[in-house]
């Protein structure tokens, strides 16, 4: 097969993973991003978790009730800003309809397969190009402060076992034995053995260096402003500086993808889900295994000698501004689980914010749209974009090469809400 010319829009983890696998298939790849090489898009400040444990999509039973309960608490981890916006109302309705047990039952095996395949890709990348990004395969705890929550997590463990995912319920004592230097105030938790973690900015640097080494051209400060199509074929994409023609085009522009897709008359229901992270370069103590503080919905990830805390899902439009109350919510939750932390440990630390691309059914969009023969999309990964980055890139590279995707992703079609 002769290599095709491919233009990818977006240099986040999705765009660069697609570039990596497309270049390996012998294609000539160009990546366009409106940011600069120093920008820290959503793929940099996230919590670095690779999560076979996350086989339940965001649209799951209980989430609507939780959103309503937390709506009026400014420090809560989940918030939907009510506003009269047709896209938001339509997204909310689709989310409501998807949040049922049958949807979870249908999606769980696919999310398991994608996350496990992606974890394998990360390990292969570290073996081939060096583990400069601190990939560790230590699993992940979900820590619980209440018996009620532990019972809920035990049900997830049961479901995980049915799916063949290794997981177990542990008492507070058993968790303490695995983290002997860390004092925790919990009733117990669960442990997912196959989860991994890494330092996202270092992974992105390694990925960027590798794609550039094999000849991928990355054009920064190149915001996409329009398209030229001829019937069912896209001929070129226009940026603020230049027009790019290619055989194939791939849209991986994260939460901004629907705006770009709209110019091609494509509907891609999505809302930005803002989250925050706080990195402590010298934490008073550093757990060696990542953890989710379940009631607080905060993730805690050791990254080298540092420790990152991240959380909050704020559906409040395309706005990256930092809401101090939500950040305070994250900081306040930490000493409740780790009593040796105090609010003082967070003083002077600059929080980071990122916009997760959230589809209404909690499942990514991966694949071609039927409207165009030379166009594919990879976005909508919400809380799992880092984790699913490499496998999405691999699947998209297979699709643009005319191969059958190695995992059946028909249900992830970008056309599933209409063309
Ligand atoms: C607090 C927090 C914690 C998280 N933790 C985890 C985790 O532990 N594990 C996990 O798997 N996921 C996690 N995520 C989610 C993950 O970070 C995202 O799903 C992922 O980074 C999305 O990657 P992306 O490539 O789709 O988008 P982005 O990283 O946002 O990249 C999109 C790129 O498109 C570019 N772009 C936009 N518009 C245009 C345009 N018009 N022209 C050209 N370029 C354009 C942007 O500049 C950007 O660089 C977390 C997210 C947050 C906020």
Give 250-285 as a DSSP string: EE--GGGHHHHHHTTT-----EEEEEEEEEESS-SS
Give residue 45 CA to ligand 1 midpoint distance, Å.
9
Which of 36, 47, 316 has the most ligand 1 atoms within 8 A of CB, as the residue to mutate? 47
pLDDT category of residue 375 using cuts at 50, 70 and 90 = very high
Give residue 377 CA to ligand 1 midpoint distance, Å.
14
Residue 191 CA, chain-centre distance (Å), reads: 21
pLDDT in tens, 111-142: 999 999 999 999 999 999 999 999 999 999 99
Query: How far apart are the C-alpha atoms of 22 and 29, rounded to whole Å?
Result: 7
* pLDDT attached to residue 274: 96
Q: Is 10 in the pocket of ligand 1 (CB under 6 A)?
A: yes
pLDDT in tens, 155-201: 999 999 999 999 999 999 999 999 999 999 999 999 999 999 999 99
* pLDDT attached to residue 173: 98
* pLDDT attached to residue 279: 97
pLDDT in tens, 353-374: 999 999 999 999 999 999 999 9
Position 11 pLDDT exceeds 70: yes
Give residue 145 CA to ligand 1 midpoint distance, Å.
31
Contact of 6 with 22, CB cutoff 8 Å: yes
Query: How far apart are the C-alpha atoms of 83 and 107, rounded to whole Å?
Result: 30
| Nearest CA, atom 25, ligand 1 | 12
- Say which residue the tokens 């400040």 belong to: 45
> What share of the chain has pLDDT > 90, as a percent?
90
| Nearest CA, atom 20, ligand 1 | 385
Give residue 386 CA to ligand 1 midpoint distance, Å.
8
* pLDDT attached to residue 419: 66
Q: Is 256 in the pocket of ligand 1 (CB under 6 A)?
A: yes
pLDDT in tens, 13-72: 999 999 999 999 999 999 999 999 888 789 999 999 999 999 999 989 888 888 888 877
Q: Is 276 in the pocket of ligand 1 (CB under 6 A)?
A: yes
- Helix pair 101-129, 385-400: axis angle to 10 deg: 80
Pick the atom of ligand 1 nearest to 311's CA: 1
Identify the CA nearest to 380 among candidates 251, 206, 227, 223: 251
CA distances from 98 to 79, 249, 357, 361 (A): 18, 30, 17, 5
* pLDDT attached to residue 79: 82
Position 203 pLDDT exceeds 70: yes
* H helix runs in 163-219, sequence order: 172-178, 200-213
Position 278 pLDDT exceeds 90: yes
Q: Is 253 in the pocket of ligand 1 (CB under 6 A)?
A: yes
Query: How far apart are the C-alpha atoms of 236 and 215, rounded to whole Å?
Result: 21
Query: How far apart are the C-alpha atoms of 107 and 124, rounded to whole Å?
Result: 26
Position 2 pLDDT exceeds 80: no
Pick the atom of ligand 1 nearest to 41's CA: 29
Find residue 30's DSSP bridge partners. Answer: 7, 217
Give residue 204 CA to ligand 1 midpoint distance, Å.
11
pLDDT in tens, 296-343: 999 999 999 999 999 999 998 998 899 999 999 999 999 999 999 999
Query: How far apart are the C-alpha atoms of 278 and 311, rounded to whole Å?
Result: 9
Q: Is 387 in the pocket of ligand 1 (CB under 6 A)?
A: yes
Give residue 298 CA to ligand 1 midpoint distance, Å.
18
pLDDT in tens, 378-407: 999 999 999 999 999 999 999 999 999 999
Q: What's the average model confidence in pLDDT over 235-240?
A: 98
Query: How far apart are the C-alpha atoms of 17 and 176, rounded to whole Å?
Result: 37
Position 282 pLDDT exceeds 80: yes
Give residue 376 CA to ligand 1 midpoint distance, Å.
18
Give residue 15 CA to ligand 1 midpoint distance, Å.
10
Q: Is 362 in the pocket of ligand 1 (CB under 6 A)?
A: no
Measured over all CA atoms, what is the biggest interatomic distance in the chain, rounded to whole angstroms?
Answer: 65
Identify the CA nearest to 303 among candidates 321, 287, 324, 323: 287
- Say which residue the tokens 């501004």 belong to: 321
Pick the atom of ligand 1 nearest to 35's CA: 47
The tokens describing 132, both together, are 């400069």
* pLDDT attached to residue 75: 83
Give residue 413 CA to ligand 1 midpoint distance, Å.
20
Residue 331 CA, chain-centre distance (Å), reads: 22
pLDDT category of residue 1 using cuts at 50, 70 and 90 = low
Pairing type for strands 78-80 and 306-315 reads parallel
* Least confident range of 39-43, 278-282, 289-293: 39-43
Position 87 pLDDT exceeds 80: yes
Give residue 312 CA to ligand 1 midpoint distance, Å.
15
Q: What's the average model confidence in pLDDT over 232-245?
A: 97
| Nearest CA, atom 44, ligand 1 | 33
* Residue 56 burial (CB count, 10 A): 18
Q: Which residues have CB under 8 Å from 66's CB, separation 6+?
A: 78
Query: How far apart are the C-alpha atoms of 339 and 143, rounded to whole Å?
Result: 14
Query: How far apart are the C-alpha atoms of 15 and 253, rounded to whole Å?
Result: 7
């Amino acid at each position: 097969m002769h290599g095709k010319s491919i233009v990818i829009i977006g240099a986040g983890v999705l765009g660069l993973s697609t570039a990596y696998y497309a270049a390996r298939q012998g294609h000539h790849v160009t990546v366009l991003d409106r940011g600069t090489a120093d920008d820290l898009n959503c793929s940099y400040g996230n919590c670095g978790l690779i999560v076979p444990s996350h086989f339940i999509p965001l649209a799951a039973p209980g989430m609507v009730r939780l959103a309503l309960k937390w709506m009026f608490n400014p420090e809560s981890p989940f918030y939907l800003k009510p506003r009269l916006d047709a896209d938001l109302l339509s997204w909310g309705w689709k989310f409501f309809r998807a949040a049922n047990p049958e949807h979870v039952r249908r999606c769980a095996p696919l999310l398991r397969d994608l996350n496990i395949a992606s974890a394998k890709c990360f390990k292969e990348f570290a073996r081939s190009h060096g583990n400069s990004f601190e990939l560790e395969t230590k699993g992940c705890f979900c820590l619980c402060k209440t018996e009620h929550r532990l019972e809920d997590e035990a049900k997830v463990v049961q479901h995980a076992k049915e799916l063949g995912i290794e997981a177990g319920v542990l008492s507070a004592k058993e968790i303490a034995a695995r983290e002997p230097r860390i004092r925790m105030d919990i009733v117990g938790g669960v442990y997912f053995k196959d989860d991994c973690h890494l330092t996202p900015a270092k992974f992105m640097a390694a990925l960027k260096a590798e794609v550039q080494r094999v000849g991928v051209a990355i054009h920064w400060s190149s915001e996409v402003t329009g398209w030229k199509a001829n019937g069912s074929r896209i001929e070129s994409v226009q940026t603020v500086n230049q027009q790019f023609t290619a055989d194939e085009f791939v849209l991986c522009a994260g939460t901004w993808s629907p705006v770009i897709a709209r110019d091609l008359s494509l509907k891609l229901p999505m809302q930005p889900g803002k989250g925050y992270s706080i990195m402590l370069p010298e934490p008073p103590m550093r757990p060696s295994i990542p953890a989710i503080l379940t009631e607080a919905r905060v993730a805690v990830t050791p990254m080298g000698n540092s420790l990152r805390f991240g959380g909050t899902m704020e559906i409040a439009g395309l706005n990256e501004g930092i809401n101090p109350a939500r950040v305070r919510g994250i900081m306040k939750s930490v000493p409740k689980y780790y009593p040796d932390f105090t609010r003082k440990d967070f003083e002077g630390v600059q929080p980071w914010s990122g916009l997760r691309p959230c589809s209404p059914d909690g499942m990514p969009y991966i694949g071609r749209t039927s409207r165009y023969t030379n166009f594919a999309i990879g976005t909508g990964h919400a809380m799992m974009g880092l984790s699913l980055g490499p496998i999405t890139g691999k699947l998209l590279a297979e699709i643009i090469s005319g191969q059958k995707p190695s995992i059946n992703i028909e249900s992830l079609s970008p056309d599933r809400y209409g063309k």
